[in-house]
Amino acid sequence: MTQQTTPLTILFADISKSSNIYEYLGDTAAQEIVGKILNLLSDLTVRYDGNVIKTVGDAIIATFGSTDTAVEAARSMQLAMTENISGHPDLPVNIHIGIHHGLVVMDNDDIFGDAVNVTARVVDYANPRQIVATRAAIENLPENSCQFTRYITRITAKNISGELELHEIIYEDQNTTMVIDCRQLSRAMRSSLCLKRGEQVIVIDVQKPLISIGREDFNDIAIPYSWISRTHAYIENRNGVFLLKDKSTNGTFIYPEEGAPLYVNKGEHPLAGKGEIIFGREKDNRMETALTDTMEYDVK
């Protein structure tokens, strides 16, 4: 079979701290559990139209034609691990997953190239029960994707040129139930979010609970730059909790005065305190200082 180069989404799923399984159960029983897990991960790969390339030690390497289905497969893999796979209550078994999208060299049903090396570095970075993806993978998600992501960090990796920007795929239910008393409800009714962009000021409160931000003039806040989506994001007052809901291709960066920066892409995140929001690019991106794609926020 001749070599061919094609863009694919690569998924590495690795059993976390598998040595603990061998120490706890012994080689024979541990190999049975590990085999069961790898078969489960392989079955889920095929269910989501993926191709299992091979198993390496306690990990599987798979490819997908669609990044969205790769992420769905990863979510299903993690959720499947919430069951007691080992059969021993004192022996939880977890996996960690890395996802990257790039050009892959295919040769005799195997894959090679920088994209494979990048994915290997990403899965090494991921913690147990975590799905970590590169920016290349996030950017390859379709515009209507419902995946919820969170910016983590940038890293440099051995034998990989440049930096890798890493994001976490949130796969567990993010909804929380809030139980509040009358005093809390009263405070929620009085709370407001003040947004300032240049000379423009918009207040989100009970009277105006929702605004839209985007490139087109029909939005409440119009930001006419090419990297801004037509309707880029919404900010909503949901019972006194202010949520930024990103619907864009390039995502939204939140820079709280206190706390680490956050990246939201096709998901939502609460706003609290004070900070800045930048749409479609990072704060340290070297662009003209006259750009007005930045907003200050203040939750009162």
pLDDT higher than threshold 90 for residue 99: yes
Residues 122 and 219 grouped into a single domain = no
Q: Which of 91, 118, 72, 69 is nearest to 16 (CA)?
A: 91
pLDDT, greater one: 234 or 174:
234
* Domain region containing 215: 182-299
The pLDDT, as a whole number, for residue 88 is 67
Residues 195 and 96 grouped into a single domain = no
Confidence band for 286, pLDDT divided at 50, 70 and 90: low
Residues 13 and 106 grouped into a single domain = yes
pLDDT, greater one: 173 or 72:
72
CATH number at residue 161: 3.30.70.1230
The tokens for 121 are 């570095």
pLDDT higher than threshold 50 for residue 249: yes
Residues 252 and 126 grouped into a single domain = no
pLDDT higher than threshold 50 for residue 180: no
**Final residue before a domain boundary, out of 115, 149, 170:** 170
Residue 188 placed within a domain: yes
Residue 177 placed within a domain: no
- Give per-residue burial for 155-188: e unless 16+ CB within 10 Å, then b: eebeeeeeebbbbbbebeeeeeeeeeeeeeeeeb
Beta-carbon contacts of 65 under 8 Å, excluding residues fewer than 6 positions away, are 8, 9, 49
CA dist list (Å): 55 to 12, 172, 242, 279: 10, 26, 45, 40
Instruction: Give CA–CA dist 123/169, Å, rounded.
Output: 13
Task: Give the pairing type, strands 274-279 and 294-299.
Answer: antiparallel
Residue 115: how many CB atoms within 10 A of its CB? 23
Q: What is the pTM of this model?
A: 0.59
Q: Which of 50, 64, 62 is nearest to 13 (CA)?
A: 62
CATH number at residue 196: 2.60.200.20
Q: What is the mean pLDDT of the chain?
A: 83
The three-class DSSP label of residue 8 is strand
Confidence band for 172, pLDDT divided at 50, 70 and 90: low
Residue 88 placed within a domain: yes
The pLDDT, as a whole number, for residue 182 is 40
Q: Which of 70-74, 114-118, 144-148, 285-289 has the lowest mean pLDDT?
A: 285-289
